[in-house]
Amino acid sequence: MTVLILTCEQDVTADMVVAQLHRRGAPLVRFDPGDLPGEGALSAEYVRGEFRGYLSTGGRVVSMDGLRSIWVRRPGEPAAHAPEPSPWLSAETGQALYGMLDCTAARWMNERGAAARARLKPWQLRTAHHSGFPVPATVVTTYPRVAQQFADQYRHVVVKAVSGRPPGDPPMALPTTLVPSDADFSEVAAGPTLLQRYIAKSADIRLTAVGEELFAARKTAEPGQVDGRFGDTGHTWEPVEPPARVRRAVARYMELARLAYGAFDFAEDAEGTWWFLECNQGGQFGFIELETEQPIADAVAGWLAAPGETG
């Protein structure tokens, strides 16, 4: 039985898991949907009630019924590397590939429907609340007046992208940013805006959940620091033991979200409370493993290579 990894060639975080699968002797195929058609190929046929097919790339072939698990890591857009790429070809290729893979009995990290829902930030916040996490007050609105009232009520609020996607061309980044007290909210009418009560944090927490295994890391924040991803503070990620209450909430969240993998971001306040900020179903873990030496890649490999319910 084979592990299928959907990712691009440049993904060295995937390399960390590939190396662990090699160490375990687990067969794997690394496949970039961007290479289909071309370097990658597929064929599937439906005959008399049976659906059979296979994928091939780089001289490797894997049959649909030979798949143990599928890791959706950093797949390219289907047909992105085709000689004449087009939105139509990407749609056709994506339908063929994922439609075929959805017919298998393989375990997914993460199942695509669950992943799509788990990306929705309003859904994340509600699910986090129901899981038992403290969640900062948040508003998503296109009403400037509502935004102004929210800012007046909480005084210190941050703005962040609803989707997490950075603004387009030229390449831009949108760090979570403290909104000035004299901000003009009239432009809120131009697009849904997410405002959240600012949590004065003493540390950033990244908790990576792999199945039932949890790896939490803590990085001390500078006073007034808002987005820990931007700006080098000189602090490093250190392993930290998650409180029992957080463990229970993570387990509940993963169950409600139907996720096999999730990267949780928390803000730790001065009292030591971990405030839920988001759970990224495809979040990076390489930078955490590099600094903490927590065996996250090995845990991912272990999950992918495990027999599971389908053997």
Is 13 a residue that touches other proteins (CB under 8 A)? yes
Look up tokens 């949890």; give the residue.
214
Q: What is the CA radius of gyration of the chain?
A: 21
Q: How far is the CB of 210 from other proteins (least distance, A)?
A: 16
Is 129 a residue that touches other proteins (CB under 8 A)? no
Tokens of 135: 């969640």
Cβ–Cβ < 8 Å for 240, 220? no
Binding region for other proteins (CB under 8 A) out of 17-25, 125-133, 148-156, 240-248? 17-25
Handedness of CA 291, 292, 293, 296 (dihedral sign): negative
Is 9 a residue that touches other proteins (CB under 8 A)? yes
Is 96 a residue that touches other proteins (CB under 8 A)? no
Is 15 a residue that touches other proteins (CB under 8 A)? yes
Is 282 a residue that touches other proteins (CB under 8 A)? yes
CB nearer other proteins, residue 38 or residue 166: 166
CB nearer other proteins, residue 134 or residue 175: 175
Tokens of 231: 């700006």
In the shown chain, the binding pattern of residues 222 to 261 toward other proteins, with x for contact by CB under 8 A and - for none, equals -------xx-------------------------------
Cβ–Cβ < 8 Å for 249, 205? no
Handedness of CA 195, 219, 303, 75 (dihedral sign): positive
Tokens of 139: 């508003």
Is 27 a residue that touches other proteins (CB under 8 A)? no
Look up tokens 């997490």; give the residue.
164
Q: How far is the CB of 126 from other proteins (least distance, A)?
A: 18
Beta strands at 107-109 and 67-74: parallel, antiparallel or unpaired: parallel
Binding region for other proteins (CB under 8 A) out of 40-48, 128-136, 210-218, 279-287? 279-287
DSSP letter at 271 equals T
178, 198, 201, 203, 267 from 271: Cα distances, Å: 21, 15, 9, 11, 11
Is 181 a residue that touches other proteins (CB under 8 A)? no
Contacts with other proteins by CB under 8 A lie at 9-10, 12-16, 18-19, 22, 28-30, 58-59, 74, 119, 147, 159-161, 163-167, 170-175, 177, 179, 185-191, 193-194, 229-230, 280-284, 286-287, 289-290
